[in-house]
Each structure stands twice: as C-alpha cells, then as structure tokens.
Amino acid sequence: MNDFNNALSTTAGDVNDTLERLLQNYDDPEARLIEAMRYSTLGGGKRIRPFLVIASGELFNVDRAQALRVAAAVEMIHCYSLVHDDLPAMDDDDLRRGRATCHKKFDEATAILAGDALLAKAFEVIADDKTHASSKIRADLVLALARAVGPEGMVGGQMLDLVAEHHALKMPEITRLQRMKTGMLIAVSCEAGAILGKSTDGARNALHAYAHDLGLAFQMADDLLDVEGDERAIGKGAGKDAAAGKATFVSLLGVERAREQAELLAAQACEHLDLFDKKADPLRQLANFVVERSA
C-alpha cells in the first residue's frame, strides 16, 4: 500500500471511530432510527470528504480531534444525501456501498427519518463547543455548510437534476448542476480546514479553487464509472444514467474527451495548491486518486 492509500485508510478508520462515538446505540423505542443512521454511515465508503477536511486542516495545524468531528459531520451529510437519493421517489436504488440501500434494509419511512436525523446531527456536532472553543468559528462552519447543502448547493443541484430529466442539458448547465449537487460539499470540506485553522483569505480562496476543479474532475470520473465501471467494484448499479437518458459529461463529451478533461481538471486543481508546500501533497495525491479510481 502506498503512502496515500495508507493515509486514506487511516482517515477512514479514525472517521469510523468518531462516527461510532457520535452515533451511540441505545435501547429506547427509537433505537431503530439510530440503527438506520449507523447502518448508513458505518458501512464503507471511500471517505473522500472527511479526508479533505483532515488534509486541509493539516495545512493550518488544526487539532486532529476537532477536524475529525467536522469530518464526521460532513460524512453524515454526505450519507444523508445518499440515503435520500436512493429512495424510490428519487433514484430508486437497491444497492449502495455493496449492500442493501437503507430503505431496502429498513423501510422507506425509516430511511427518510434516518436522512433527516443525520442532517440535524451533523449541525449539532459542528455547533457543539467540543468542535472549537470559538463560537465565531463554529458559526462560520455552520454557515458555510448550510450554504453548501441547501437550496443554492447540494439540494438545489438535486432539484436541477430532477428537472433535467425532461430537458436536454448542455455543457454549462450540466457544469452548474454538478457544481451544486456534488461540488459544493466537496468545496466546503476543503474550506472547513481553513475555517478551523483561521487561515488567510488567500489560502481559503486557493482551497476553494482547488475544490472547484476537483469536484468537476470527481463527477467526470463518476460519469465514466457509470459507463465503464464494474457494478461489484463500485458497489451500486452501473449504467443507470444512460438507461435514464440523462445528459452527463460522458454523454456530452464522449468517453475519451471526458477522461482527458477529468485529468486536465485534476492537474489544474493541483496548480491552485502552489502556494502551499509539501504539506499539501495529500491533497495533490487525492486529485490523482479521484480520476484514477475504479470505485
């Protein structure tokens, strides 16, 4: 295993431990809700967003335990989006991370509640003073995260995606949709390290620019996996976009150009990190991982 894979798996282990602690099972009648939340967060995943929080925090010597709480909160939000996206009213998927989706394992109502509860829990974790002693920093994190996942971010992007099923989107529209749907959570994961570390505006903007290119590269790689990926490796249904007649980066650019473009964006993402020294190497390595991944 190389250094990067080691770092990614160490982060995944630490995030799992943090999620375990934050989502304690108990015996009350609502235990089924916690069980569904734990099922949806502790069952695998690459933990790319938590890695971004930790790696960007390291640039500013952020305390790891504090960064891990933010990383776990971001992962809770990501998992909530997956649980809701898999519901019959949305993508109607049976498989996620190589096992039954939350509503298949439990039931639809429980999956809706588990998603809702993960979103609320994430903000509870961020707003708790264990995350940072400064209420200003905690409020900045809450604001950045709420903007990234709300109507002008992830959920707004999901709405555009639903509307897009009835319209042929072009490149600028797809780019905007994907930027909102997946890019903004990726961007706030990078910026969280800068917020926790009270960075300069210049450093935060550089991380934002890195994340912008990284998010698009990530989505292009995801579209390529939907066309070329092995269902067992990616742990979810493949070929769904084409079957649904959805416009994607691959349907608009073709496989070759989408791959070239993803690689270009990953390289461009790294250029935004030039003001940081070797400490930013994990972020540079992640950009390569994102376009080379097979899952």
Q: How far is the CB of 177 from ligand GRG (least distance, A)?
A: 10
* Residue among 47 and 69 whose Cβ is closer to ligand GRG: 47
90 belongs to the binding site for ligand GRG (CB under 6 A): yes
- Applying CB under 6 A, among 222, 272, 286, 290 the residue interacting with ligand GRG is 222
| Largest separation between any pair of C-alpha atoms in the chain | 54
Q: How far apart are CA 65 and CA 75, in angstroms?
A: 15
CA distance linking residue 64 with residue 18, whole number of Å: 11
Beta-carbon contacts of residue 47 (< 8 Å; ≥ 6 apart): 8, 11, 12, 15, 75
Q: How far is the CB of 41 from ligand GRG (least distance, A)?
A: 10
Tokens of 154: 């992830």
What one-letter code names the amino acid at 54? I
Q: Which two tokens stand for residue 213?
A: 């290119």
List 32, 33, 43, 46, residue binding ligand GRG (CB under 6 A): 46
- Alpha-carbon distance values, 178 to 53, 110, 223 (Å): 20, 28, 11
Supply the minimum distance, in Å, between the C-beta of residue 111 and ligand GRG. Answer: 11
226 touches ligand GRG by CB under 6 A: no
Least Å from the CB of residue 126 to ligand GRG? 18
Check residue 182 for interaction with ligand GRG (CB under 6 A): yes
Taking the CA atoms of residue 48, residue 288, residue 142 and residue 152 in that order, the dihedral angle to the nearest 10 degrees is -110
Q: CA 183 to CA 26: how far, in whole Å?
A: 35
103-113 as b/e: b if 16+ CB within 10 A: bebbeeebbbb
Site pattern 230..249 for ligand GRG (x: CB under 6 A): --------------------
* Smallest separation (angstroms) from ligand GRG to the CB of 2: 19
SS3 state at 73: helix
Residues 116-175 that bind ligand GRG (CB under 6 A): 154-155, 158
- Among the residue ranges 41-49, 64-72, 168-176, 203-211, the one whose residues contact ligand GRG (CB under 6 A): 41-49
Q: Count the site residues for ligand GRG by CB under 6 A.
A: 16
Q: Which residues bind ligand GRG (CB under 6 A)?
A: 45-46, 48, 78, 81-82, 84-85, 90, 97, 154-155, 158, 181-182, 222
